[in-house]
A = this chain, B = another copy of it.
Amino acid sequence: MNIRTDLAMEAREILQKKDPESVSGVSESHETLAKGELTVTRVRIETEEGARKMGKAVGTYVTLEFPAVPERSMELEDEIANQLAKELKALLPEMTAETTALVVGLGNWNMTPDALGPRVVDQMLVTRHMLMAMPDAIDERIRSVSAIAPGVLGLTGLETFEVISSLVERIAPDVLVVIDSLAARKASRIGTTIQISDTGIQPGSGVGNRRREISQKTLGIPVIALGVPMVVYASTIAQDAIEMALSGGKRSLNSLEEKLLENVQQQVLSGTFPQMVVTPKEVDELIEEASKSLSEGLNMAFHDGLSLEEVRSYGV
Protein backbone atom coordinates (compact mmCIF):
# COMPACT_ATOMS: atom_id res chain seq x y z
CA MET A 1 0.00 0.00 0.00
CA ASN A 2 1.19 3.44 -0.97
CA ILE A 3 1.73 5.86 1.92
CA ARG A 4 0.92 9.34 0.66
CA THR A 5 2.85 11.65 2.97
CA ASP A 6 5.84 13.93 2.62
CA LEU A 7 6.53 13.69 6.36
CA ALA A 8 9.08 11.03 7.34
CA MET A 9 7.64 11.07 10.84
CA GLU A 10 4.22 10.04 9.55
CA ALA A 11 5.63 7.41 7.21
CA ARG A 12 7.49 5.84 10.14
CA GLU A 13 4.38 5.97 12.34
CA ILE A 14 2.35 4.09 9.76
CA LEU A 15 5.00 1.44 9.14
CA GLN A 16 5.53 0.99 12.88
CA LYS A 17 1.83 0.37 13.41
CA LYS A 18 1.59 -2.21 10.68
CA ASP A 19 4.78 -4.04 11.54
CA PRO A 20 7.34 -2.84 14.10
CA GLU A 21 9.95 -5.02 12.43
CA SER A 22 9.61 -3.12 9.22
CA VAL A 23 11.29 0.01 10.46
CA SER A 24 14.71 -1.46 11.01
CA GLY A 25 17.19 0.94 9.48
CA VAL A 26 15.13 3.87 10.71
CA SER A 27 15.72 5.50 14.09
CA GLU A 28 13.65 8.10 15.87
CA SER A 29 14.04 10.36 18.89
CA HIS A 30 11.77 12.92 20.54
CA GLU A 31 12.23 16.10 22.52
CA THR A 32 9.56 18.21 24.17
CA LEU A 33 10.06 21.96 24.58
CA ALA A 34 8.11 25.13 25.44
CA LYS A 35 6.17 23.58 28.32
CA GLY A 36 5.09 20.72 26.15
CA GLU A 37 3.76 22.85 23.31
CA LEU A 38 6.65 22.25 20.93
CA THR A 39 7.73 18.71 20.02
CA VAL A 40 10.88 17.98 18.04
CA THR A 41 11.09 14.57 16.37
CA ARG A 42 14.26 13.40 14.65
CA VAL A 43 13.92 10.52 12.20
CA ARG A 44 17.08 9.10 10.69
CA ILE A 45 16.83 6.78 7.71
CA GLU A 46 20.12 4.94 7.90
CA THR A 47 19.97 2.20 5.31
CA GLU A 48 18.84 1.80 1.74
CA GLU A 49 16.36 -0.80 2.90
CA GLY A 50 14.90 1.69 5.38
CA ALA A 51 14.72 4.23 2.59
CA ARG A 52 12.88 1.83 0.30
CA LYS A 53 10.35 0.89 2.96
CA MET A 54 9.79 4.51 4.00
CA GLY A 55 9.59 5.73 0.42
CA LYS A 56 12.03 8.47 1.40
CA ALA A 57 15.74 9.10 0.83
CA VAL A 58 18.45 8.17 3.35
CA GLY A 59 19.09 11.12 5.65
CA THR A 60 17.88 13.14 8.62
CA TYR A 61 14.35 14.50 8.98
CA VAL A 62 13.60 16.88 11.81
CA THR A 63 9.98 17.71 12.56
CA LEU A 64 8.68 20.54 14.74
CA GLU A 65 5.10 20.14 15.91
CA PHE A 66 3.01 22.79 17.65
CA PRO A 67 -0.63 23.77 18.13
CA ALA A 68 -2.75 25.35 15.41
CA VAL A 69 -2.91 29.14 15.18
CA PRO A 70 -5.84 29.95 17.45
CA GLU A 71 -4.11 28.17 20.37
CA ARG A 72 -0.61 29.45 19.60
CA SER A 73 0.68 32.22 21.87
CA MET A 74 3.09 34.95 20.79
CA GLU A 75 5.74 33.38 23.01
CA LEU A 76 5.31 30.05 21.30
CA GLU A 77 5.69 31.70 17.92
CA ASP A 78 9.02 33.10 19.05
CA GLU A 79 10.08 29.66 20.31
CA ILE A 80 9.16 28.03 17.02
CA ALA A 81 11.26 30.52 15.03
CA ASN A 82 14.20 30.17 17.44
CA GLN A 83 14.08 26.37 17.50
CA LEU A 84 13.78 26.25 13.74
CA ALA A 85 16.89 28.44 13.45
CA LYS A 86 18.71 26.05 15.80
CA GLU A 87 17.71 22.94 13.88
CA LEU A 88 18.61 24.58 10.57
CA LYS A 89 22.05 25.53 11.86
CA ALA A 90 22.65 21.89 12.83
CA LEU A 91 21.96 20.79 9.24
CA LEU A 92 23.46 23.72 7.33
CA PRO A 93 27.20 23.84 6.66
CA GLU A 94 28.89 26.41 8.92
CA MET A 95 28.05 29.90 7.68
CA THR A 96 31.35 31.80 7.57
CA ALA A 97 32.00 35.21 6.11
CA GLU A 98 32.67 33.48 2.78
CA THR A 99 29.68 31.14 2.71
CA THR A 100 26.92 31.80 0.18
CA ALA A 101 23.44 30.35 0.49
CA LEU A 102 20.77 30.19 -2.19
CA VAL A 103 17.13 29.84 -1.15
CA VAL A 104 14.67 28.50 -3.70
CA GLY A 105 10.95 28.82 -3.09
CA LEU A 106 9.22 26.06 -5.03
CA GLY A 107 5.55 26.32 -5.83
CA ASN A 108 2.93 28.39 -7.55
CA TRP A 109 2.16 31.89 -6.24
CA ASN A 110 -1.24 31.78 -7.95
CA MET A 111 -2.37 28.68 -6.03
CA THR A 112 -2.65 29.50 -2.36
CA PRO A 113 -1.84 26.09 -0.83
CA ASP A 114 1.25 25.83 -3.05
CA ALA A 115 2.47 29.39 -2.47
CA LEU A 116 4.56 28.75 0.64
CA GLY A 117 7.90 28.79 -1.19
CA PRO A 118 7.38 32.07 -3.08
CA ARG A 119 6.02 33.71 0.09
CA VAL A 120 9.09 32.72 2.12
CA VAL A 121 11.37 34.03 -0.64
CA ASP A 122 9.57 37.39 -0.44
CA GLN A 123 10.49 37.61 3.25
CA MET A 124 14.13 36.55 3.01
CA LEU A 125 16.81 38.99 4.03
CA VAL A 126 18.76 38.83 0.76
CA THR A 127 22.27 40.24 0.96
CA ARG A 128 24.43 38.76 -1.79
CA HIS A 129 24.21 41.87 -3.97
CA MET A 130 25.08 44.18 -1.07
CA LEU A 131 28.04 42.10 0.04
CA MET A 132 29.35 42.05 -3.52
CA ALA A 133 28.90 45.78 -4.02
CA MET A 134 30.20 47.09 -0.70
CA PRO A 135 31.47 44.29 1.54
CA ASP A 136 32.89 46.62 4.16
CA ALA A 137 29.74 48.62 4.69
CA ILE A 138 27.69 45.62 5.84
CA ASP A 139 27.27 44.39 9.43
CA GLU A 140 29.85 41.62 9.82
CA ARG A 141 27.25 39.13 11.06
CA ILE A 142 25.54 39.22 7.68
CA ARG A 143 26.18 36.27 5.33
CA SER A 144 25.64 36.16 1.59
CA VAL A 145 22.10 35.01 0.82
CA SER A 146 20.17 35.09 -2.43
CA ALA A 147 16.65 33.81 -3.06
CA ILE A 148 14.45 33.04 -6.03
CA ALA A 149 11.02 31.57 -6.77
CA PRO A 150 11.29 29.95 -10.20
CA GLY A 151 7.58 29.14 -10.59
CA VAL A 152 6.07 25.90 -11.80
CA LEU A 153 6.27 23.96 -15.04
CA GLY A 154 2.77 24.82 -16.21
CA LEU A 155 3.35 28.56 -15.80
CA THR A 156 6.88 28.84 -17.16
CA GLY A 157 7.34 25.86 -19.46
CA LEU A 158 10.60 25.27 -17.58
CA GLU A 159 11.30 22.32 -15.31
CA THR A 160 12.20 23.69 -11.86
CA PHE A 161 15.33 21.56 -11.84
CA GLU A 162 16.59 23.22 -15.03
CA VAL A 163 16.26 26.69 -13.51
CA ILE A 164 17.87 25.70 -10.22
CA SER A 165 20.74 23.69 -11.64
CA SER A 166 21.68 26.38 -14.14
CA LEU A 167 21.66 28.97 -11.35
CA VAL A 168 23.66 26.76 -9.01
CA GLU A 169 26.23 26.30 -11.72
CA ARG A 170 26.44 30.04 -12.34
CA ILE A 171 26.50 31.50 -8.84
CA ALA A 172 28.06 28.48 -7.11
CA PRO A 173 26.42 28.72 -3.67
CA ASP A 174 27.79 26.62 -0.79
CA VAL A 175 24.36 25.40 0.18
CA LEU A 176 20.87 25.34 -1.30
CA VAL A 177 17.70 25.57 0.78
CA VAL A 178 14.47 24.56 -0.99
CA ILE A 179 11.10 25.52 0.47
CA ASP A 180 7.97 23.60 -0.47
CA SER A 181 4.36 23.08 0.55
CA LEU A 182 3.96 19.45 1.64
CA ALA A 183 1.24 16.82 1.62
CA ALA A 184 0.56 15.14 4.96
CA ARG A 185 -1.26 11.97 5.88
CA LYS A 186 -3.29 13.51 8.68
CA ALA A 187 -5.29 16.68 8.19
CA SER A 188 -4.41 17.79 11.71
CA ARG A 189 -0.78 18.28 10.64
CA ILE A 190 -1.65 21.05 8.18
CA GLY A 191 -0.02 24.26 9.33
CA THR A 192 1.11 22.70 12.61
CA THR A 193 4.27 20.92 11.48
CA ILE A 194 7.59 22.00 9.98
CA GLN A 195 9.88 19.41 8.41
CA ILE A 196 13.58 20.07 7.83
CA SER A 197 15.74 17.51 6.09
CA ASP A 198 19.16 17.17 4.52
CA THR A 199 17.88 15.00 1.70
CA GLY A 200 16.57 17.63 -0.68
CA ILE A 201 13.41 17.13 -2.70
CA GLN A 202 12.39 13.83 -4.28
CA PRO A 203 10.30 13.50 -7.44
CA GLY A 204 6.57 13.42 -6.81
CA SER A 205 6.75 15.06 -3.41
CA GLY A 206 5.11 18.32 -2.40
CA VAL A 207 1.87 19.92 -3.49
CA GLY A 208 3.11 20.66 -7.00
CA ASN A 209 4.57 17.22 -7.64
CA ARG A 210 8.10 18.14 -8.75
CA ARG A 211 9.48 15.79 -11.36
CA ARG A 212 13.21 15.81 -10.78
CA GLU A 213 15.29 15.16 -7.70
CA ILE A 214 16.80 18.32 -6.21
CA SER A 215 19.55 17.05 -3.94
CA GLN A 216 23.27 16.90 -3.27
CA LYS A 217 23.37 13.94 -5.62
CA THR A 218 21.96 15.88 -8.55
CA LEU A 219 23.43 19.31 -7.78
CA GLY A 220 26.73 18.59 -6.05
CA ILE A 221 26.13 20.87 -3.06
CA PRO A 222 24.28 20.27 0.23
CA VAL A 223 20.53 20.70 -0.20
CA ILE A 224 18.34 21.37 2.82
CA ALA A 225 14.60 20.91 2.29
CA LEU A 226 12.17 22.88 4.43
CA GLY A 227 8.43 22.48 4.27
CA VAL A 228 5.07 22.70 5.96
CA PRO A 229 2.12 20.41 5.17
CA MET A 230 -0.64 22.38 3.48
CA VAL A 231 -2.74 19.66 1.88
CA VAL A 232 -3.99 16.11 2.41
CA TYR A 233 -5.52 13.66 0.00
CA ALA A 234 -9.25 13.34 0.42
CA SER A 235 -8.71 9.58 0.50
CA THR A 236 -6.58 9.82 3.62
CA ILE A 237 -9.35 11.67 5.42
CA ALA A 238 -11.60 8.73 4.64
CA GLN A 239 -8.99 6.23 5.80
CA ASP A 240 -8.51 8.20 9.01
CA ALA A 241 -12.21 7.99 9.71
CA ILE A 242 -12.23 4.25 9.33
CA GLU A 243 -9.08 3.74 11.36
CA MET A 244 -10.45 5.96 14.08
CA ALA A 245 -13.53 3.80 14.24
CA LEU A 246 -11.35 0.70 14.33
CA SER A 247 -9.00 1.83 17.07
CA GLY A 248 -11.77 3.62 18.93
CA GLY A 249 -13.38 0.29 19.81
CA LYS A 250 -12.56 -0.94 23.29
CA ARG A 251 -12.27 -4.55 22.27
CA SER A 252 -10.38 -6.26 19.46
CA LEU A 253 -12.30 -6.70 16.25
CA ASN A 254 -13.32 -10.14 15.25
CA SER A 255 -12.14 -11.47 11.93
CA LEU A 256 -15.41 -10.67 10.17
CA GLU A 257 -15.22 -7.06 11.21
CA GLU A 258 -11.62 -6.77 10.15
CA LYS A 259 -12.34 -8.22 6.78
CA LEU A 260 -15.28 -5.87 6.26
CA LEU A 261 -13.23 -2.83 7.12
CA GLU A 262 -10.45 -3.93 4.84
CA ASN A 263 -12.99 -4.07 2.03
CA VAL A 264 -14.14 -0.58 2.84
CA GLN A 265 -10.60 0.69 2.70
CA GLN A 266 -9.94 -1.11 -0.56
CA GLN A 267 -12.93 0.41 -2.23
CA VAL A 268 -12.17 3.89 -1.01
CA LEU A 269 -8.66 3.73 -2.36
CA SER A 270 -9.67 2.48 -5.75
CA GLY A 271 -12.40 5.07 -6.17
CA THR A 272 -12.38 8.71 -7.15
CA PHE A 273 -11.12 9.92 -3.80
CA PRO A 274 -7.39 9.43 -4.23
CA GLN A 275 -7.25 12.14 -6.90
CA MET A 276 -8.64 14.96 -4.83
CA VAL A 277 -6.26 17.06 -2.79
CA VAL A 278 -7.81 19.29 -0.15
CA THR A 279 -6.74 22.10 2.15
CA PRO A 280 -8.54 23.80 5.07
CA LYS A 281 -10.70 26.75 4.17
CA GLU A 282 -8.38 28.98 6.25
CA VAL A 283 -5.45 28.23 3.92
CA ASP A 284 -4.65 31.90 3.20
CA GLU A 285 -3.98 32.55 6.87
CA LEU A 286 -2.10 29.26 7.29
CA ILE A 287 0.27 30.16 4.47
CA GLU A 288 0.87 33.59 5.97
CA GLU A 289 1.68 32.18 9.40
CA ALA A 290 3.90 29.42 8.06
CA SER A 291 5.89 31.69 5.75
CA LYS A 292 6.53 34.05 8.66
CA SER A 293 7.92 31.26 10.87
CA LEU A 294 10.04 29.81 8.09
CA SER A 295 11.55 33.11 6.99
CA GLU A 296 12.30 34.13 10.57
CA GLY A 297 14.01 30.82 11.27
CA LEU A 298 16.01 30.97 8.05
CA ASN A 299 17.05 34.60 8.50
CA MET A 300 18.40 33.78 11.97
CA ALA A 301 20.08 30.57 10.86
CA PHE A 302 21.93 32.24 8.01
CA HIS A 303 23.10 35.45 9.62
CA ASP A 304 25.42 34.78 12.48
CA GLY A 305 23.96 35.99 15.73
CA LEU A 306 21.07 38.08 14.47
CA SER A 307 18.30 37.96 17.07
CA LEU A 308 14.64 37.36 16.28
CA GLU A 309 13.99 41.00 17.11
CA GLU A 310 16.66 42.19 14.70
CA VAL A 311 15.40 39.89 11.98
CA ARG A 312 11.89 41.27 12.40
CA SER A 313 13.08 44.84 12.44
CA TYR A 314 14.49 44.48 8.93
CA GLY A 315 10.87 44.40 7.99
CA VAL A 316 11.38 42.37 4.83
Query: Chain A interface (Cβ within 8 Å of chain B)?
Result: 74, 110-114, 121-122, 126-130, 144-151, 153-159, 162-163, 165-167, 169-171, 187-188, 207, 230-231, 234-235, 237-242, 244-245, 248-249, 256-257, 260-261, 263-264, 267-268, 271-273, 276-285, 313
Contacts and interface: CB of A to CB of B under 8 A. Distances in A.
Instruction: Give the interface centre of A122, A280, A284, A313 by most chain B CB atoms within 10 Å.
Output: A284
A136 B99 CA distance: 47
A111 B281 contact: yes
A147 to B, nearest CB: 6
A128 B157 contact: yes
A117 B110 CA distance: 16
Contact of A146 (B157, B165, B187): B157
Contacts of A148: 150-151, 156, 158, 163
Contacts of A110: 122, 284-285
Contacts of A273: 237, 240-241
Contacts of A74: 313
A281 B279 contact: yes
Given A126-B155, A166-B170, A237-B234, A281 B114 contact: yes
